[in-house]
Amino acid sequence: MANLPWHSEEDEGHGENCVAGHQRESRKYSAMRRDGSFRYVHSAPFGNYSFISVDATRSPGPKRPFNFFGILDEKQMKELLLLAKESSQSNHTIWFGHFTTSTILSPSPGIQSIMSSATAYLCGHLHMLGGLMPVLHTRHVQGTLELELGDWKDNRRYRIFAFDHDLFSFADLVFGRWPVVLITNPKPLLYSCGKHEPLERLLHSTHIRVLAFSLSSIASVTVRIDGAHLGQAVHLSGPIFVLKWNPRNYVNGTHNIEVVVQDSAGRSQSAHHVFSVQENIHLTFDPLASFILLTDHCILARVLFVLIVLIQLATLITFRLLVCPQLKGPWFFGEIIDGKLGCCFSFGIFVNGHFLQGGMTFVVGILQLVFFNIPLMAYLCWSLLQRCFGHNFRSHLRKGKYLKIIPVHLLMLLLYTWQVYSCYFLHMTYGTLALLVSPLRTWLTLLTPVLVRCVWTLKSAELGAFMVQLKSHLSS
């Protein structure tokens, strides 16, 4: 393993136009030094262990935020399916990649189905959702674990894992905290799966086994089960410490094991988890984490986008304005990749002769509709309603209902400020051309004060027909 740089570009994963840079870093620092999806087999006297890399990066890779979703085409899916078949005789198969399966666009039967024979899929991308979800782990319907890892860039997270008699265990750790502790037997109940692991071996095991590492020598490894002191584990070889036990003493229900490791420098760390020697007992993962990792967010974004457009249309009809939102044109035209121009639409991006299927574009569209387009439409309709009641901008402020009126204007001003900032972000990310040729951002930002002024300065005679209908409706 090479010495990774303290600030690794690999952390940024889906940063600005960085796919090529990440590939260079991968070739420089990784053990395999290869691009794309591939398979590595680790051979041991007791069997083979396959590791399959999933490369779902877009080619070409657009700048953020439109690189949020990874994508696999038919050819890549066939390659991964072949790698999965070649690994069928391995003791275990571990898949790994940057994107979570929920943020990978893939043709039927889908990436989760192809990796169904794997013990676990190790990934990053979402990391800890900015600290909101410190643990993002779940299990696929087929039994494969999906284990998100916190980022190295800001939180210095890394992972170690081990197979102990073909039972999979892992620990997510913070760099610089010593000693490092991983309990390999008994393994955690939450991460047990009879489909992929010989769980019956747990009942017939003779020793509790712990991996313990530190910069200094390990001084003690203390083991407790259900709070009762079981003894001191002894050093076997390398980082392995063992303690005899009788698993048949724990055949009923679940139990908690805790291991405290202290090194010669006086540093101490502990690890604990729930285990069971019964194969018919299961624990469930955090429902929110499962939703985040198992939901197809691209499909969800598309559905929400369409629903919000329909809501906008319904709002227009409610205010009796026969205007439909036109979504045919591009959102902007600019430098999607450094030196390469392209067009961004709701359904995807055209750049350098390639079409990148929409994913994050729908999310951006949802944010635009929810935080500006629909509020602006509602604000204009509300302003027209005030005009129909016979008010102009000054007179409606003199009605004395400041607590109801002023917040409406302040909220719209706040949202307009957000729209102006989005134009600044567009300029900084995609260049001056994107700022100038952007109907969704710049043109709408410039048009908004014109529309607001027109509404409040519209002549009363031009509102006559609607005012008559409104009075008739109110009188009935």
CA 251 from chain centre, in angstroms, equals 38
H/E stretch holding 317: helix 297-318
Average pLDDT of the segment spanning 291-298: 89
Is the pLDDT at 464 greater than 90? The verdict is no
* Residue bearing tokens 């919000």: 308
Interacting residues of 422 by C-beta distance below 8 A, sequence separation 6+ = 368, 441
Q: 0.75 cut: is pTM over it? A: no
473 pLDDT higher than 80: no
Evaluate if residue 200 carries a pLDDT over 60. yes
For the segment 209-216, the average pLDDT, to the nearest whole number, is 96
Once rounded to an integer, what is the mean pLDDT over residues 74-101? 94
The predicted pLDDT at position 5 comes to 43
- Tokens 């019964």 correspond to what residue? 278
Tally helices (H) and strands (E) across the chain.
Answer: 13, 22
The amino acid occupying position 137 is H
Look up residue 372 and give its DSSP letter.
I
The DSSP line for 90-152 is SSEEEEEESS-GGGEE--TT-HHHHTTT-SEEEE-SSTTGGGT-S--EEE-TTS-EEEE---S
Q: How confident is the model at residue 346 (pLDDT cuts 50, 70, 90)?
A: confident
d(CA 68, CA 54): 16
Band of pLDDT at residue 62, cut at 50, 70 and 90: confident
Tens digits of residue pLDDT in 226-267: 999 999 999 999 999 999 999 999 999 999 999 999 999 999
CA-nearest of 204, 203, 206 to 251 is: 203
77 or 351, which is more confident: 77
In the prediction, which pLDDT does 2 show? Answer: 38
For residue 9, what pLDDT is reported? 37
In this structure, what token pair is assigned to residue 183?
């309990």
More confident residue, 13 or 216: 216
Tokens 């489909």 correspond to 195
Q: How many Cβ atoms are within 10 Å of 461's Cβ, its own excluded?
A: 8
Going from the C-alpha of 326 to that of each of 196, 305, 330, 376, the distances in angstroms are 51, 14, 11, 15
234-237/332-337 β-pairing: unpaired
| More confident call, 399 vs 171 | 171
For residue 431, what pLDDT is reported? Answer: 87
Q: What is the pLDDT of residues 22-49, one digit of tens each?
A: 544 555 656 656 677 899 999 999 899 9
Q: What is the DSSP letter of 265?
A: T
> Which tokens sit at 348?
């995807």
| Residue with more model confidence, 18 or 406 | 406
Polymer length in residues for the chain: 476
Instruction: Render the burial of 151-176: b for 16+ CB within 10 Å, e for the rest.
Output: bbbebebeeebbbbebbbbbbbbeee
CA 277 remoteness from chain centre: 34
Most confident of 159-173, 285-299, 416-430: 159-173
Full DSSP string of 45-58? TTEEEEEEEE----
Q: Which tokens belong to 20?
A: 């090529």
What confidence score (pLDDT) does residue 401 get? 66
